[in-house]
Structure 1
Amino acid sequence: MAEAITDRQVVAVLRPFVRATAPLVDALREADPFGVVAGERERAVITEPKLRDRLLTRLQAVKVPGTRAWAAMDVGDRTNWWINRVGRFTSLVTAVPGLGGALADRLPVQDTLGAASQGLLLCAIAGERGCTDVGERVRLVAWVLFERDIDRELACGTQADRAAEDAETEKLTEELDAASRKHGRAGLKVVARTLWRLGRSLLAVTDELEKRPHGRFYHRAVGMLPVVGMAGDYLGERSALKRVARRAEQWFEAQ
């Protein structure tokens, strides 16, 4: 029988994970997954001044980061944006293994990607609430995904572990950093690959991953089928993200 995973081990895995989510959240803000901002800006550049002004005004009314409409949104609306807009992209990445049906479900691939996606969006939600402390984000992710109440002092880590933590964080974000240096931003392919790196980092606590919020039983039943399993897994991940958001709200209310 395998030894139980300790809170200290969970913290050692989650601290570099949480730190690595910061640039990834920024990349998702700038990536505009569904092309709303990019499309409006492109049209604004090629049109006459009066029409350009109208397009730019309309752009500011679009509820995406960096616009006046975004600045006017409350925490609940911004949380919904992350869960319902960016969550579509992360759920799709997570659901791709579902093409293999039951075979893929017997492997930890989907749980690692799913936990990474949920942890990423939890850190984005925390940021909208002004929670930027790594230790507090570690406690949030551990409570929502792994049902663990981590001690604050333990979640802060130790100076002795900081060098290893720095190295792991750098490894998790190296492709993202390289793309940003070369192109000024990271595309969605790089974002997806970085999400996979984050997922692999959680393999050290594999036994904890099954505790994360999942979809309904019927989503998982469809997910067992070849090919159409991807649709079931996608809908299941979307449903699970809503549960993640509810649990996150409970955690913040309790603090």
Structure 2
Amino acid sequence: MAERITDRHVVSVLRPFVRATSPMLDALRDSNPFFLVRKALPAATRSAADDEDDRQLEKVDKSVRERLRDGLEHVRLPGTEAWAAMTVAEREKWWVNRVGRFTVLIASIPGVGGALADRLPIQTTLATASQGLVLSAIGLENGLDNAERVQLIAYVLFNREIDLALARGDKDAKADEDAATADLTQELDASATKHGRVTVKAAARTLWRFGKTLYALGEELDKRPQGRFYHQVIGMLPVIGALGDYLGERSALKRAVKKARKWLSKRPSTGTGATR
């Protein structure tokens, strides 16, 4: 019989995960891994990714470039006026539709191998990481700090009610937590150093690192929201199994978000925006 996984162990895994999702989410906002060009920000807040966008558009007529960027100011992307005017619910939907599609697509790729791939932990770990990443984004949009996001993810993915004091982590384990967080984000750091932005490849590899660290929770991963039974049937078929897995993970992600919103609606409004 497998040893029972305690709440303390869940927290020890989720704290580095949650901390690592912050730069990952920043990268997905700022570096456009979906190849979307957003309007350049004022000079004081420009990033290397903005400069890279400008270099890519150097051969485009200046007036055309200005019209393009003025037009994109009204597109709902982070850093635009349209984004600033969005409600929390609208931003949550953006994360689910844009980032959710990206991460769920990666999570469904192992399904190309049909039932054989489903015997491996690859899809489960990536799909759990995908859900955790989107849940972390939703937590940030609702003003949750790191500990509160640990609580949210533990509840939605593992049906655990984690005490807030426990979710704040063990001070004696801070060095280990810092090291684990750095390991999870090393692909992001390397990509930013080399390219001035986070590439799709680096984001995908980081999601894989997220999945591997969550795999330490073993059978707990089976508690996460799942797709419909017919998605699982399609997922067992060669070649088209990827489609079944994709649809299944999209359905599972929607269930996870619904469960998160239910948790948020019942909790006291105590988000501090701190990083603990």
Please report the TM-score for the alignment, with normalisation by the length of structure 1.
0.94
Query: Structure 2 matches for 1:1-255, cutoff 5 A?
Result: 1-37=1-37, 46-49=60-63, 51-131=64-144, 133-255=145-267
Distance 1:166 1:34 in 2: 29
Distance 1:60 1:232 in 2: 36
**Preserved CA contact (<8 Å) 2:107 2:126:** yes
Runs of 4+ displaced beyond 3 Å: 38-45
- In structure 2, relative to structure 1, the CA distance for the partners of 1:228 and 1:72 (3 Å cut) is same
**Preserved CA contact (<8 Å) 2:33 2:198:** no
- In structure 2, relative to structure 1, the CA distance for the partners of 1:86 and 1:44 (3 Å cut) is farther
**2:44 aligned partner:** none
Shift of 1:182: 2.3
Distance 2:32 2:193 in 1: 19
Shift of 1:45: 6.8
**Preserved CA contact (<8 Å) 1:98 1:229:** yes
1:186 alignment partner, SS class: coil
Q: Which amino acid in structure 2 is aligned with residue 125 of structure 1?
A: I
2:169 alignment partner, SS class: coil
Shift of 1:123: 0.8
Distance 1:126 1:45 in 2: 40
**Preserved CA contact (<8 Å) 1:44 1:55:** no
Structure 1, residues 118-146: CA drift from partner, whole Å, max 9, x if none? 10111111111122x21111000000110
Higher helix share: 1
Structure 2 residue runs of 5 or longer lacking an equivalent are: 40-52, 268-276
Distance 2:124 2:215 in 1: 9
**Preserved CA contact (<8 Å) 2:33 2:199:** no
Q: Tell me how many residue pairs correspond in the alignment.
A: 253
Structure 1, residues 180-228: CA drift from partner, whole Å, max 9, x if none? 1222211010000010001000111011001111111111110011111
% identical aligned pairs: 57
Distance 1:190 1:53 in 2: 30
Shift of 1:54: 2.8
Q: Which amino acid in structure 2 is aligned with residue 35 of structure 1?
A: F
Please report the TM-score for the alignment, with normalisation by the length of structure 2.
0.87
Q: Which amino acid in structure 2 is aligned with residue 47 of structure 1?
A: D
- After superposing the two structures, state which structure 1 stretch, 25-34 or 161-170, moved more: 25-34
Shift of 1:48: 4.5
Structure 1 residue runs of 5 or longer lacking an equivalent are: none
Structure 1, residues 3-28: CA drift from partner, whole Å, max 9, x if none? 11110110011001111111111111
Distance 1:218 1:37 in 2: 38
Distance 2:57 2:81 in 1: 19
